[in-house]
Structure 1
Amino acid sequence: MQVSTKFTIALHVLLAVKYFEKDNKLTSDFLSASIGSNPVIIRNIMSQLREAGIIDIKRGPGGMRITRDLKDISFLDIYKAVETNGQGELFNFHEKPNPNCPVGKRIYPVLDQSLLAVQEKFEEALQDHSLEELYERLD
């Protein structure tokens, strides 16, 4: 299992937004310079965070702001915003196991319960951490 860089980029975006909100206009170009990533990638992640209600983006001089207290934004909120593409599933099954194979025809139900338990523990762990704890460590 591997979580893509979108998750850590989203964390970086949100921390930078909070850190620089008073002194800088927060654009994708500004954030991409901090993150070391392409502004298009940053815009895509910003869009996902906006769709999840984590940030608000105003065109022009309005800039960007975080919509709620950092303590109220969990790692799970951010993960779901940028990683799951609305599906919410941590594990994806291969599409065409052989239905004539004794393992292939039963693999989905055999894996399903165990993988669901793993996902639940993973999500519980993400829920236990907030953006606030990261922000406090910046100083």
Structure 2
Amino acid sequence: MSANSRLTIAAHTLAWIGLYQRQGHDVATSEQIATSANTNPVVIRRLLGELRKAGLVESRRGVGAGWSLTRELESITLLDVYDAVEPGPLFAMHRATPDQGCVVGYGIRPAMQHIYGGIEETLRAELARVTMEDVLLDVLAVPR
């Protein structure tokens, strides 16, 4: 299984737009962001669409087209970003119901749901305490 990078790419996108706007630019293009993230602009546009649905960014069409933040980085938490791009639970159960005649098959779902619930609560609490401003400040502090 490979790790999911959607939250990381979405945070990269928001931090990039935030810094770009602070440098005096009105909007950023998906191509500019994709260059920074070293990914395809289509990947960025899909994430930006989800971030727009969550009210974190807005787009401008026509001449001067691009994306901008709807709020300051200080008021966007990583939980906001996570909820925008990771709509499902952190962990999933079996696709098919395990054998209910087997002691493990019968008890695995309730046991794992209890464990996963605690992990998800902890994750959400940690993401809620970190703003995109915190992320950008950490990015800018990394020695080059």
- Using the size of structure 2 for normalisation, the TM-score is 0.85
Deviation of residue 63 (structure 1)? 2.3
Match of 2:33 in 1: 31
Aligned residue number for residue 74 of structure 2? 71
Please report how far the alpha carbon of residue 130 of structure 1 lies from its aligned counterpart in structure 2 after TM superposition. Answer: 0.6
Counterpart check, 1:123 vs 2:132: no
Moved segments of 4+, more than 6 Å: none
2:43 maps to 1:55: no
Q: Secondary structure at the match of 1:106?
A: helix
Deviation at 1:25, TM superposition (A): 4.5
The change in CA–CA distance for 1:52 and 1:123 in structure 2 (over 3 A counts) is same
Is the 2:17–2:69 contact (alpha carbons within 8 Å) kept by the matching residues of 1? yes
Shift of residue 136, structure 1, vs aligned partner: 2.4
Q: How many residues align?
A: 136
Unmatched runs of 5 consecutive residues or more in structure 1: none
Q: CA deviation at 1:13?
A: 0.7
Q: Give me the CA root mean square deviation.
A: 1.9
* Identical counterparts, % of pairs: 32
For normalisation by structure 1, the TM-score amounts to 0.88
Contact between 1:3 and 1:83, CA under 8 Å: does it hold in 2? Answer: no
Structure 1 counterpart SS, 2:71: coil
Q: Does 1:136 align with 2:137?
A: yes
Conserved 8 A contact 2:77-2:131: yes
Contact 2:26 2:68 in 1 (8 A): no
Contact 1:75 1:131 in 2 (8 A): yes
Distance 1:129 1:55 in 2: 18
Q: Distance in 1 between matches of 2:35 and 2:128?
A: 29
